[in-house]
Each structure stands twice: as structure tokens, then as C-alpha cells.
Chain A
Amino acid sequence: MRRAGRAESGSGRAFGIARAAYDVDVDYRHLELPYVRSADQDVAPPAHHRVVVVGAGPVGLTLAIDLARQGVPVVVLDDDCRLSVGSRAICFAKRTLEIWDRLGVGQRMVDKGVSWNVGKVYFQDGLVYAFDLLPESGHHRPAFINLQQYYCEGYLHEAAAALPDVDMRWKNRVVAAEKRPDHVLLTVETPEGPYRLQADYVVACDGSRSPLRAMLGLESRGRVFRDRFLIADVRMSAGFPAERWFWFDPPFHRNQSVLLHMQPDNVWRIDFQLGWDADPEEAKKPGNVVPRIKALLGEDARFELEWVSVYTFACQRMERFRHGRVIFAGDAAHGVSPFGARGANSGVQDVDNLGWKLALVLAGKAPERLLDSYGAERESAADENILNSTRSTDFITPKSAVSRTFRDAVLRLASDHPFARRLVNSGRLSVPATLSQSALNTPDRDAYTGAMAPGAPAADAPVRVDGRDDWFVQRIGGGFTVMVFSDDATPAPGVAAGLRALAQGPIPIASIVVVPAGAPQRAGEAEGLPQRTGVDVPRIAVVEDAQGMLARRYDARDGTCYLLRPDQHVCARWRSLDAIAVAAALARATCNA
């Protein structure tokens, strides 16, 4: 049996499981996950669960981990017993890594993945230009890592399975879903026959052809593109750098586009545009694939075909993502072209947005309409992704002669004229959605510069905690956090009292006091601030703004404070701490206002 590549270098601490548990070579491509009979199959009235997640892909598994870490038990149903067949999604964005960091699985992905920031665009024989997706320093995570989807799912599955509140059920296929007034009734087919279970909420993460969507008579609508693409993942030793290379009309594949990406284990993703008339079955045959690859690599190139697939795509979404107690996320809710890596990455952002809302509603700490904000926020994020993806696709695959003429004119101008480089669109790569229109935001009362407006995902920056180097984004999330900039490590008594009050509300707010580099502090606890007394009182941390980047990125002065949501998005900010205003912003962000 093939071993799954080099040993991991990740540290085990973040996963809550012993290092040895994943240090062995696991062949995630062929791993068969066991069907285990559940006690629910032996009871007459259907067992009741709080949350059932349908689909154990990257999106469903991320949600299961998030909910279980918040103490919400979750059942995960998957109709298969295997991880991703083939490498499929390979580009995981900075924001996705930050979400996985929050859930304790990010480091392992980064350790195994190929980090990259640079893309190069070629037209015919020459390089047109290169771009850097993360041109500034002071971020923990790269713009992207490339990692085969089976590794991503394998790591997420191991983290999920290690949590006692996650009940994984393989070979459990949902065959019927019935919406009842106070629950959803599911009928599940297994190798040992069917059983029923009921759930307060069902989250459908069951992919672009979502069976659950069809069972409820719902549709995902949009634009289908009449073009076919061939994915060839090849194993070879090659000297290409870890960059995204995109060719328009190259000599080795005339009139079409080609995309090259490096993956771990010496696997390379080559994506050939084929045109609509290509026969997908013929195109997949090794006898037809190998000559295309040799045209790119040279006649003498030595490589092994790892996975070959032909795909088409549509840019589409469901009109609404929430249908009462059934909530759709990921490809089930929306679809885009692969150019831009906006599929899996937006799905992970969906459940990052949903997890804390579902937990608060189930705990009775927020009304059910908080879940409607999931729909509103992520539907507009999907629109943004679909818009970007559609524009990229129209550039990459022009639909008319004049569109092709303009495309080629842009590419010809781009080598000499900087303005034209901005028009070249080989995929606008995934950036996190800024939820600027969200009703959960509290509008600014004061003036600020920079990107950290309400709705923005919190920017990272290097910090020092207890004299050790760390990263800001690693220190926030999970619950609400108020971040207070202070020139003095000992905040004014009024500030300390405010933070203490906020820590003790029904939805506790943790505090982070940001002080300038070198400000004196004592072991991460500011004098006069409430000490950690029990699990219900959130931690109050003091971090040093190691390079002054936090203050710059948040346009902060002494006293500036930000309220950050559990998903690390900004929801309010002020020039000085006013506990009553923070409490009001919290109420607004949780639909308790």
C-alpha cells in the first residue's frame, strides 16, 4: 500500500489528541471509515438531537468541530464511508486557515500544505505579470496553502472524531426529511436498514447536488457555463516554484487556458480548458491526457497520473439559505467556478458564521431570528463570490468574438502598461467577505481610517503575550471579545470596572487589552482587572502590540476599543470604552436588542 508521504511536522497540542495518533502514515485517499450501528437504530420513537449535520466534507466537519467545542452535541450523517475521492479542492485561503486555527486544526493543514502568495500570468509565449496576494508582512498565515482535499477532510475528521460531542455516522444516507413545527424528522438509510431521528436543526452540507435540497423541493439557480475543463493531477519531481501559474492561449494548448498548482507529495495540479465540444469520457483517457501534459512539460518528462477528472460548473445559489429548521451551507447553498478558490473557502466561512449563532439560539441566549442573519450575511457573501467568479469566467473563456478581442487586447497591453494588468482576470482569489451591510453591526459614531469597519474580519498582526511571540487572531474568537487599546498596562479604574461588568453578563464578553511594545505588565493579567475565577468568566488577556501594527491596522489611539464577534468579525468600535454602549452592541449583534 502506498504511504501518504512525508511525516508531519505539526505539533500535537492543538488537536487535543496525542501526537502519535496522527504521526503514522495514513493513506487518506483509500481510508475506509467504519459504519457503526447507533443506539438510535434500536429505539421505537425517533431519538431526538439538537443538531444534525448532513455531509462530512470540509464544511460539515468544520461545523461539527465548532459546535462540539461550544458544548453543542452534534450528529454527522454521511452517505459514504470515504474521504474525498481525488484531490478536488486544493487551495485553502488565509481566512479559512484562521478559522481552522480557531478550531485547533489550522497548524496541521499549514504544516502539510504548500504555502504560496505569488501568482504569475502568461499570454502565449511570455510572462505578462506577477502578483503577490499578501504583499505586506505581519500576518501569521499565507495568502493560500495548497492541500489535497483528502488530507483536509482526514485532518478535520480526526479532530472531530476526538470530540465526545461529535457523533460520526458513516454510510448513513438521508432519504427523507419532513419539517415539523418543532423539529425536523429525518429518515436515514443504513446497511442494516432504515431508521428515523429528529433534530432541532438540520444543517445541509451535502454538496452541490444536495439531496436534502431536492427532498425539500428547493433549487439552486444561476448561470451554467458551457465549457469543460480537465483536471490532471500528476506526481513528478519538477522545479517549478510554489506559485500559481496561469496561461492564456499558450503554445502547448492553443486557444485555451491552463492552470498549474503545486500540492504536497510532489503532486501537481494541471487544469486544462477543453471547450464545450470536448467529449468528457474521451478526454479522461490516459492516452489523451498524457500528450497534453507532455506538450506542457516536454516529451521526456516523467510523471505518473494521480487523478483525472473533467468538470463543468455553474454560478448559482439558493434564494434563501435558511428554511426554518433546515439550514443550507457550502456548495449545497451556492456554487461558483473554481477560478478564485471561492468554493470550499466560502463554505467554511458559512459555517464559521453559523456555528456561534446556532449555539446561542440552542442555549436560549438569542432568539431564533439570529439565524436569519446567517442567511442575510452569507447570501450577500455568495453574491459577491458569484459576481467575482462570473467576471473571471467571462475573461478566461470569452463568450463572443468581440469579448475575445478585448481579452487579448488587455493581455497585449498588460506587459507594458500597468493599468491593463489590473484588468487581467485569471481568477480573483478568495478574500473574506466584509459584512458591511449586516444588521448585526453597530454603525460608527466616530471617524476612522483603514479596513476595520464593522463587518470586516479582524486583521492579524504580530503580538507578544507573556514575553512570547504570538499572533493577534490566535487570541480571539469562540466568544465575543472586547479589544481595548491602552497606552498603559494598568487601565483606568473605570475601564477595569467596565470590562468586569461585560465579563459577567449572560453572554460573557472576554477582554483583550492591547498595550504598546515594552509596556510593563504582569504575567498576562492587567492590574485591577478581574482575575479568572472559573470557567464561566472569560479570560482577560494583555497583549503587546509587538511592532505597532495592531494600532495601525485598527486606526487605534489610547482608549479605542472594538467589539469582535465569535467568528472574529468586527461588529462595533468606539474611541473610548463605554460598557453600556458595548452591551447595547452585543444585544444588537445577537438580536437581543
Chain B
Amino acid sequence: MAAMLNTEANIAAPDAFYEALIDTHRDLAPEQSELVNAKLILLLANHIGDLDVLRQAMAHARAGIVPQGVAPGEES
């Protein structure tokens, strides 16, 4: 059976984690923060490894968001 994304509390020190996350972006311009976030996602995704779990996380992250743009640069 495919592994399930754990959405129960799993971080022992949630406040410390959140502080560290915000600190990671201190003094960065928005584009720099975007790059840091992208690198962070890639590092964590590799650590998780399981594509089923990653797809569940991606679906949760996007759930409820109504697209407001159309992907530019392509036609079919």
C-alpha cells in the first residue's frame, strides 16, 4: 500500500521550527526568498523520496486555490 503523507503533528518543537524557517529568509529580497524556498523544497523532497507522498503534499498545498493565471509561453 502506498505510504500516506503524515499531516499529524510530527515536529517536536513547532515554535522553534517556525522561527528557524522565518530566520532562513531574514534580510532576503523577495526573489532571493523564492530561490531559497525552491532549494528548500527540493532538499526536503529528496529527503522524503517517496513520489506518492510528495504528490499528496503537492495536492494538499494546492487544494482550494482557484487558478488566476494561464501558463504563458505555450499553445496546443
Contacts and interface: CB of A to CB of B under 8 A. Distances in A.
Interface of A: 222-227, 276, 397, 399-400, 402, 405-406, 408-410, 412-413, 417, 419-420, 423
Interface stretch (B3-11, B35-43, B50-58): B35-43
Contacts of B68: none
B42 A406 contact: yes
Contacts of B41: 406, 409
Contacts of A225: 74
B42 A399 contact: no
Interface in B33-76: 34-35, 38-39, 41-43, 46, 71-76
A409 B35 contact: yes
Contacts of B46: 417, 419-420
A405 B74 contact: no
A406 B42 CA distance: 8
A113 B51 CA distance: 41
Interface residues of B, number: 14
Contact of B42 (A227, A397, A400, A413): A413
B76 to A, nearest CB: 5
Given A405-B34, A419-B46, A413 B74 contact: no
Contact of B74 (A226, A406, A409): A226
Nearest to A406: B38
A290 B35 CA distance: 35
29 contacts: A222-B76, A223-B74, A223-B76, A224-B75, A226-B74, A226-B75, A227-B73, A397-B73, A399-B73, A399-B74, A400-B71, A400-B72, A402-B34, A402-B38, A405-B34, A406-B38, A408-B35, A408-B38, A409-B35, A409-B38, A409-B39, A409-B41, A410-B42, A412-B35, A412-B39, A413-B39, A417-B43, A417-B46, A420-B46
A248 to B, nearest CB: 15
Contacts of A276: 73
A397 B75 CA distance: 14
Contact of A413 (B43, B73, B75): B43
A419 B41 CA distance: 13
A24 to B, nearest CB: 49
A420 B76 contact: no
Contact of B71 (A222, A399, A423): A399
A392 B58 CA distance: 21
Given A412-B35, A413-B39, 18 more contacts: A223-B74, A224-B75, A224-B76, A225-B74, A226-B73, A226-B74, A226-B75, A399-B72, A400-B72, A400-B73, A406-B38, A409-B38, A409-B41, A409-B42, A412-B39, A413-B42, A419-B46, A420-B46
Interface in B14-39: 34-35, 38-39
Contacts of B35: 405, 408-409, 412
B18 to A, nearest CB: 22
Contacts of A408: 35, 38
Contacts of B72: 399-400
B55 to A, nearest CB: 16
Given A409-B35, A412-B35, A420 B75 contact: no
The 10 closest A-B pairs by CB, nearest first: A409-B38, A399-B73, A419-B46, A409-B39, A405-B38, A406-B38, A405-B34, A223-B76, A226-B73, A399-B74
A411 B72 CA distance: 23
A224 B75 CA distance: 6
A397 to B, nearest CB: 8
A224 B39 CA distance: 30
A423 B76 contact: no
A276 to B, nearest CB: 7
Contacts of B43: 413, 417
B65 to A, nearest CB: 13
Contacts of B71: 399-400
Contacts of A405: 34-35, 38
A16 B41 CA distance: 59
Contacts of B75: 224, 226
B42 to A, nearest CB: 6
Given A405-B34, A408-B35, A423 B74 contact: no
Contacts of A227: 73
A105 B14 CA distance: 67
- Most chain-A CB neighbours within 10 Å: which of B35, B38, B72, B75? B38
B73 A423 contact: no
B34 A423 contact: no
Contacts of B34: 402, 405
B47 to A, nearest CB: 9
Nearest to A409: B38
Contacts of A417: 43, 46
A225 B75 CA distance: 7
A346 B59 CA distance: 35
Nearest to A316: B76
A472 B67 CA distance: 56
Nearest to B38: A409
Contacts of A402: 34, 38
A319 to B, nearest CB: 15
A423 B35 CA distance: 16
A408 B38 CA distance: 9
Nearest to A393: B74
A227 B72 CA distance: 12
A392 B50 CA distance: 22
Nearest to B39: A409
A226 B75 CA distance: 7
Nearest to B40: A409
A412 B43 CA distance: 12
Contacts of A419: 46
Nearest to B36: A409
